[in-house]
């Protein structure tokens, strides 16, 4: 039992990594690192027809962005390389044939077309104990016939022969407890395809064994085929060497029911992929959480509590806290509907939580995209602290603070004009004079002199603050006006008041 903990994430490179995939990685990673184990990335690219260029790189980049780096991977290498199943092709045939010799598997020569017509003719057709004796395989053919077909390189597959007697396979799932299946319910899954590649069913078992995997996390959709894997383990490597299974609950659509899909994101207007993804075949691109303006901390946090809760009221977790508090036993059994509103809330919380220094590179990036030039990082740091609590997504910083770095294009004078008069106009002329002479230009003294002058002019400060804000900011938003003026500095503040006045005059 003091075996080194080893887990794996085994995606197939067919497109962008979605929420569910990243969460599987997260839970895997958390569990592994809590136990000083090793986390492996294994690429399951056994289906050449579904292989998509760039998908593997995308997975690597996503893991890096989330801070979930594997200890062994195709890129990083490791003692059990290669980590791409297509490069391990030669390994699998041996095991499939071993199974044939043991009578646990058999050769099948039925063509896909033949099986297709069977499926059309017979409702609920399954290649299983009820049909295999009337099909074209080494169970029905004589040894000589089989040998001849094999010698002639006739295309064939190897299928498991699920037991005929009512054998119950049960195993303990880390999340669901004991799960039972009757083996006769499973069909005779293909293990080795005609092209010599293994199917998932053979490949997971073989590779999990060869790579000494101790715990296997995967989505709940795999539960029905688990008995096949357990059966294979039993005859290939022994049940006692089988990893512990953990079938994670699904992430569901926010509306209705069913697995969350890329389509739902498009339909409802939120990302489902971690990062931008462009399908090289269709050129169709999908926005990711990263490009939408999510912080990796928030993304990871949001995923962690989708289907897991530590029993306390805590909702905001850093990676370190997750590493400390995560537990597999507290993962839920039922699926959870994804809520984009909640995801936004997490991002907002993380923007508030992170220091201006940490936020700085993200904000500069977002500004650069809008061609906003920031000359002085120290100013930007101050600005970030001033506006961060009103930003939910990173690009919100542009809206909320671009006026610090460039004068607003237009002023919302409609909000001022109806109540604008000569009296107020004079006040601002006075204010310009006063501010020009000011020796200190901090928010507090600015506010103080502003209010004193207002009192002297028999005006309520409140009536003057909105026009002042519009002149500086352009609209009805942003931090306290005097904080803004202080950051802007004397010259710029005065300049903007003058400009505002000239616009209001017309």
Partner RNA sequence: GGAGCGUUGGUCAAGGGGUUAAGACACCUCCCUUUCACGGAGGAAUCACGGGUUCGAUUCCCGUACGCUCUACCA
Q: Which residues, 90 to 109, sit near RNA by CB under 7 A?
A: none
Contacts (CB under 7 A) with RNA, residues 188-217 = 190, 193-195, 197, 199-200
CB 75, min distance to RNA, A: 18
Which residue in the list 76, 126, 212, 262 is annotated as catalytic? Answer: 262
Q: Is 363 in the site for RNA (CB under 7 A)?
A: no
Residue 232: name the closest of 178, 169, 175, 156 by CA.
Answer: 169
Task: Sort 59 into a burial class: Cβ within 10 Å, 0-12 / 13-18 / 19+.
Answer: buried
CB 253, min distance to RNA, A: 9
Q: Which is nearer to RNA, 204 or 497 (CB)?
A: 204
Query: Can you tell me the distance from the alpha carbon of 418 to that of 267, in angstroms, rounded to the nearest whole number?
Result: 42
Give the containing element (helix H, strand E) for 277: strand 277-278
CB 2, min distance to RNA, A: 30
Contacts (CB under 7 A) with RNA, residues 300-329 = 305-307, 309, 311, 313, 315
CB 450, min distance to RNA, A: 11
Q: Is 89 in the site for RNA (CB under 7 A)?
A: no
CB 1, min distance to RNA, A: 26
CB 364, min distance to RNA, A: 22
Q: Is 87 in the site for RNA (CB under 7 A)?
A: no
What tokens does 49 get?
Answer: 């027809």
Query: Can you tell me the distance from the alpha carbon of 51 to that of 44, in angstroms, rounded to the nearest whole number?
Result: 10
Q: Is 334 in the site for RNA (CB under 7 A)?
A: yes
Residue 446: name the closest of 488, 389, 496, 408 by CA.
Answer: 488
Asked whether the beta carbons of 226 and 200 are under 8 A apart, the reply is no
What tokens does 185 get?
Answer: 């319910």
Q: Which is nearer to RNA, 76 or 342 (CB)?
A: 342
CA angle, 71 as apex, 69 and 72 as ends, to 5°?
Answer: 115
Q: Is 389 in the site for RNA (CB under 7 A)?
A: yes
Q: Which is nearer to RNA, 166 or 377 (CB)?
A: 166
Rounded to whole angstroms, what are the CA distances from 110 to 101, 140, 155, 190, 501?
A: 20, 12, 9, 12, 86
Helical segments of 393-489, H only: 396-401, 422-437, 443-456, 461-473, 481-488
Binding pattern for the stretch 469-488 against RNA, x by CB under 7 A and - elsewhere? x------xxxxxx-------
Q: Is 223 in the site for RNA (CB under 7 A)?
A: yes
Q: Is 293 in the site for RNA (CB under 7 A)?
A: no
Among 461, 492, 498, 503, binds RNA (CB under 7 A): 461
Question: Quick one: DSSP state of residue 308?
Answer: B
Q: Which is nearer to RNA, 49 or 506 (CB)?
A: 49
CA trace torsion 266, 267, 269, 274 (10° rounding): -40
Asked whether the beta carbons of 366 and 394 are under 8 A apart, the reply is yes
CB 447, min distance to RNA, A: 9
Asked whether the beta carbons of 393 and 293 are under 8 A apart, the reply is yes
Q: Which is nearer to RNA, 346 or 435 (CB)?
A: 346
Contacts (CB under 7 A) with RNA, residues 2-21 = 10-12
Q: Which is nearer to RNA, 155 or 489 (CB)?
A: 155
Among 222, 237, 405, 441, binds RNA (CB under 7 A): 222
Query: Can you tell me the distance from the alpha carbon of 464 to that of 466, in angstroms, rounded to the nearest whole number?
Result: 6
CA trace torsion 321, 322, 328, 329 (10° rounding): 40
Total residues interacting with RNA, rule: CB under 7 A: 80
Among 235, 337, 358, 498, binds RNA (CB under 7 A): 337
Q: Which is nearer to RNA, 276 or 309 (CB)?
A: 309
Q: Is 273 in the site for RNA (CB under 7 A)?
A: no
Phi, psi of 43 (to 5 degrees): -90, 120
CB 37, min distance to RNA, A: 22
Q: Is 491 in the site for RNA (CB under 7 A)?
A: no
Contacts (CB under 7 A) with RNA, residues 167-186 = 176, 179-182, 185
Q: Is 356 in the site for RNA (CB under 7 A)?
A: no
Residue 8: name the closest of 166, 187, 293, 213 by CA.
Answer: 213
Q: Which is nearer to RNA, 436 or 444 (CB)?
A: 444
Q: Is 221 in the site for RNA (CB under 7 A)?
A: yes
Contacts (CB under 7 A) with RNA, residues 109-138 = 110-112, 115, 119, 124-127
Q: Which is nearer to RNA, 36 or 124 (CB)?
A: 124
262 is a catalytic site residue: yes
Contacts (CB under 7 A) with RNA, residues 399-438 = none
SS3 438: coil
Cis peptide before 82 (omega within 30 of 0): yes
Q: Is 466 in the site for RNA (CB under 7 A)?
A: yes
Which are the contacts of 297, defined by CB distance < 8 A and separation ≥ 6? 318, 319, 350, 354
Contacts (CB under 7 A) with RNA, residues 37-66 = 44, 46-47, 50
Q: Is 384 in the site for RNA (CB under 7 A)?
A: no
Task: Sort 338 into a burial class: Cβ within 10 Å, 0-12 / 13-18 / 19+.
Answer: buried
Kindly list the catalytic residues: 262
């Amino acid at each position: 039992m003091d075996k080194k903990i080893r887990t794996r994430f085994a995606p197939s490179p067919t497109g962008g990594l979605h929420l569910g995939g990243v969460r599987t990685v997260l839970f895997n990673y958390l569990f592994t690192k809590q136990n000083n184990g090793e986390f492996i990335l294994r690429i399951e690219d056994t289906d050449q027809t579904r292989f998509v260029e760039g998908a593997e790189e995308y997975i690597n980049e996503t893991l890096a962005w989330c801070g979930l780096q594997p200890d062994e991977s195709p890129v990083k290498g490791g003692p059990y390389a290669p980590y791409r199943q297509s490069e391990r092709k030669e390994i699998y045939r041996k095991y499939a044939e071993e199974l044939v010799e043991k009578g646990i598997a058999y050769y099948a020569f039925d063509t896909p077309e033949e099986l297709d017509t069977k499926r059309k003719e017979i409702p609920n057709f399954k290649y299983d104990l009820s049909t295999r004796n009337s099909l074209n395989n080494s169970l029905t053919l004589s040894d000589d016939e089989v040998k001849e077909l094999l010698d002639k390189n006739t295309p064939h597959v190897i299928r498991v022969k699920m037991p005929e007697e009512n054998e119950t396979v049960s195993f303990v799932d880390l999340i669901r407890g004991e799960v039972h299946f009757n083996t006769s319910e499973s069909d005779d899954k293909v293990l080795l395809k005609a092209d010599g590649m293994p199917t998932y069913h053979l490949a997971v078992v073989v590779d999990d064994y060869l790579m000494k995997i101790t715990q296997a996390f995967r989505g709940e959709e795999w539960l029905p085929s688990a008995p096949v894997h357990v059966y294979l383990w039993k005859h290939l490597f022994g049940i006692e060497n089988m990893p512990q299974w953990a079938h994670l609950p699904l992430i569901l659509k926010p509306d209705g029911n069913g697995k969350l899909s890329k389509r739902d994101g498009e339909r409802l207007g939120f990302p489902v992929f971690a990062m931008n993804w462009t399908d090289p075949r269709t050129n169709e691109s999908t926005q990711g959480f990263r490009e939408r303006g999510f912080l990796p901390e928030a993304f990871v946090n949001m995923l962690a509590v989708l289907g897991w809760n530590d029993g306390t009221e805590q909702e905001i977790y850093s990676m370190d806290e997750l590493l400390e508090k995560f537990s597999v036993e507290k993962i839920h059994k039922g699926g959870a509907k994804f809520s984009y509103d909640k995801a936004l809330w997490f991002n907002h919380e993380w923007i508030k939580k992170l220091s201006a220094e940490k936020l700085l590179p993200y904000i500069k990036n977002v500004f650069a995209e809008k061609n906003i030039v920031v000359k002085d990082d120290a100013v930007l740091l101050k600005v970030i602290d001033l506006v961060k609590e009103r930003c939910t997504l990173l690009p919100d910083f542009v809206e909320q603070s671009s006026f610090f770095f460039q004068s607003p294009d237009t002023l919302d004078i409609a909000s001022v004009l109806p109540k604008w008069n000569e009296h107020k106009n004079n006040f601002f002329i006075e204010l310009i004079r006063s501010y020009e002479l000011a020796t200190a230009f901090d928010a507090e003294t600015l506010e103080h002199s502003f209010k004193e002058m207002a009192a002297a002019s028999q005006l309520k400060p409140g009536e003057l603050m909105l026009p002042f804000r519009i002149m500086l900011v352009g609209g009805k938003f942003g931090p306290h006006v005097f904080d803004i003026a202080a950051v802007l500095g004397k010259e710029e503040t005065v300049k903007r008041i003058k400009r505002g006045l000239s616009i209001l005059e017309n």
